[in-house]
Chain A
Amino acid sequence: MIPTAEATIGPFFPPRYVDAGANDLTQFDDRKAQGEAIEIAGVVRQEDGAPLDNLVLEIWQADAKGIYRHPADPRHREADAGFFGWGRAATDKEGRYMFRTVRPGAPQGRARHVNFMVMFSGLMRILKTTMFFPGEPANDADPVYVAVPVARRHLLVAREEAPGRYCFDLKLRGVHETPFFDD
């Protein structure tokens, strides 16, 4: 069967689509996630630089040991019971979003990273990208990172503004456009 066509999320998804606390991945099932708590925040902009309000971001990542909470991961039985790995946030009027999570471990064959998804009015298809961490020698061997043209790779690397506080801005189009993936 042929996959159903995507469509824009539009501007009018319900206010409760983004539940309070959905952007906090540091606890799950009344347990605290293992590992180092970090914050990932940034601003999302369009081609003319205007910040985008009412935009939805979702993230998916491995736990502090690099394990995914999913049966396809051969190590999933050892996954952190206090870490769900998925979160959702919306941008505010200044285009800002924020996630609280833990620093992911490096999954087998990959550098540590966080998957991002962008859903927004005027985006007919979900945009997917991946955030990498600064100062990680493993980035240069990561198959997703090296799939991106050399000149654009730095746009996937977050900036550490303070210990454990990362800035990952997204530019949907134009100068410093974030690399997005065609999967």
Chain B
Amino acid sequence: MHTVIAPRDERTQPVRVVPGYPQTPWRNPKEPLVRRPPTLSELTGPLEVAKRVKLLGGDIAGHGDRQAIGQLVHLKLRVLDEDGAPVGGTVVEVWQANGAGRYIHPNDDDHAPVDANFYGAARLLTDESGSFELRTVKPGAYPVPTKDGWWRPPHVHFSIFGRVWLSRLVTQMYFPGEPLNGQDRILNAVPDAQARERLIARMVPPAGNPYNALVFEHQIVLRGRQATPAQP
């Protein structure tokens, strides 16, 4: 099977220089990006990345007397391609702030407290249906040090490999009904309203959830379609 990659609709992807996001004008290319013909090099990519990196479990909310503080949530995600076909066996890296909005990172010097029972990261493998799950706490919002009132809404980061080099994705997922969503400079850098809406998870009825957690479902679509090569 070969993977075919078509250009994306630019309105469904974020602008590169974001008003009010002060680092963006310094780091994004000024020259036009160069269109290149896709070759085998871009239409292959690392598979079985779990053989190169260590997986870290998908249950990060803690247990017993070592439970993370915050609203317990169960995230259920699916990774699909542009045909809606599941992307199974791919590595997904997940990270988020703790319930108070603080990351485990030496550069996060926010005043919100560290939670000793919350590391806030996982590295998982999608199953054959493209699914993966995470038991965690809902991340808190936090102020960005722009000092002009920009707060990031609760969000979870995902880094996903997919089948080929050009399907690699780094994205963020948001929670429904959050008042900060409408003002977030990163979420709103995506011009198309429907594309922004697709970044927001869906809350589903929590009845019967094995973790007694609130349940959110979310879908992530990677670039590419599978094609059978033409016979010579």
Interface residues of A, Cβ cutoff 8 Å to B: 1-17, 19, 22, 28-29, 46-48, 50, 52, 54, 58, 60, 62, 68-73, 84-86, 88, 107-110, 113, 115, 117, 119-128, 130, 143-144, 147-149, 152, 172-174, 177-183
Contacts and interface: CB of A to CB of B under 8 A. Distances in A.
Contacts, number: 233
Interface stretch (B6-14, B66-74, B175-183, B209-217): B6-14
Name which of B12, B16, B29, B54 has the most chain A CB atoms within 10 A of its CB.
B29
Given A3-B223, A19-B54, A125 B13 contact: yes
Contacts of B44: 60, 68-70, 72-73
A168 B202 CA distance: 44
B112 interface: no
Nearest to B45: A60
Interface of B: 1-3, 5, 7-9, 12-16, 18, 21, 23-47, 49, 51-54, 56, 80-84, 93, 95, 97, 103-108, 119-121, 157, 159, 164-166, 168-172, 186, 189-190, 195-196, 198-199, 219-223
Contact of B120 (A5, A11, A14): A14
Contacts of B41: 60, 62, 68, 107, 110, 113, 115, 130, 144
Contacts of A174: 30
Given A12-B107, A19-B53, A60-B46, A125 B16 contact: yes
